[in-house]
Amino acid sequence: MMIDIIYSDDSIVILNKPAGMLSVPGRGPDKQECVSHFIRKKFPLCIQQPSVHRLDMDTSGLMVFALTTKAHRSLSIQFQNSEVKKKYIALLDGTTGGNSGRIELSFRLDPDNRPRQIFDPIQGKKGITLWKKIKTDCGKTRIEFSPLTGRTHQLRLHSVHPAGLGCPIAGDRLYGNSSDEKHTAGDRMMLHASELEFTHPVTGEKMKFSSEPPF
């Protein structure tokens, strides 16, 4: 798969992850091809584990990787403290009321149906997402998401749950309307990490990157 490197220096790399590619290695020999391995091959002096955050395999868009231990520590702390600002663009398979809002819902892993997450207001971890409607056209709604937390499948769940927007993200094989259908090679989930803002781990400069969604 083609990976577009947007920026790099001695400490960090910013790139566009293509949909359908893992961020980090999965379980089994057939799931070792990933963006993290690409970084290590492209930058031979890179640390063994350059990943500081992840995108779902079916999600495309901006990611930052650390090339040094110092950069990894700094970026990891920024993510942990919710200091990194992120925006996503999604195309929902349906229409939703309202123009903007805040979603707070708690989910946890369903151990009987991995990797699906299920709503659990008692034992689940709370995810918080700000959203803004961009437009509705032909029965689909384009949304801008600003997640304030980074829970597993957060935007996918906040989209589809009735207490959220009540519409799945188009092309979502796990939670969407076409989850039981066979997908072709051209299908993808319509979710793209479009903006990423953080503090450079060495210079202290505010860094902001943008990427237009390919849908």
Q: What is the CATH number of the domain that holds 34?
A: 3.30.2350.10
Q: How far apart are CA 207 and CA 85, in angstroms?
A: 10
Instruction: Give the chain's domain count.
Output: 1
Q: How far apart are CA 24 and CA 57, in angstroms?
A: 9
| Domain of residue 33, residue span | 4-83+197-210
Domain for residue 116, yes or no? no
Domain for residue 175, yes or no? no
Domain for residue 173, yes or no? no
Domain for residue 124, yes or no? no
Catalytic annotation, pick one of 30, 56, 58, 187: 56
Domain for residue 149, yes or no? no
pLDDT at 181: 44
In sequence order, the β-bridge partners of residue 191 are 90
pLDDT (tens digit, 9 = 90+) per residue, 101-135? 999 999 999 999 989 999 999 999 999 999 999 99
Quote the distance between the C-alpha of residue 34 and its chain's center: 15
Phi then psi for residue 160, to 5 deg, are -85, -25
pLDDT (tens digit, 9 = 90+) per residue, 170-210? 999 999 975 444 444 458 999 999 999 999 999 999 999 99
Q: Is 56 a catalytic residue?
A: yes
**Which residue, among 169, 168, 165, has the nearest Cα to 96 in the 3D structure?**
165
User: What average pLDDT does the segment 84-102 reach?
Assistant: 96
Quote the distance between the C-alpha of residue 2 and its chain's center: 18
pLDDT at 180: 44
pTM score: 0.93
Domain for residue 170, yes or no? no
Quote the distance between the C-alpha of residue 72 and its chain's center: 19
Domain for residue 183, yes or no? no
pLDDT (tens digit, 9 = 90+) per residue, 134-174? 999 999 999 999 999 999 999 999 999 999 999 999 999 99
Domain for residue 168, yes or no? no
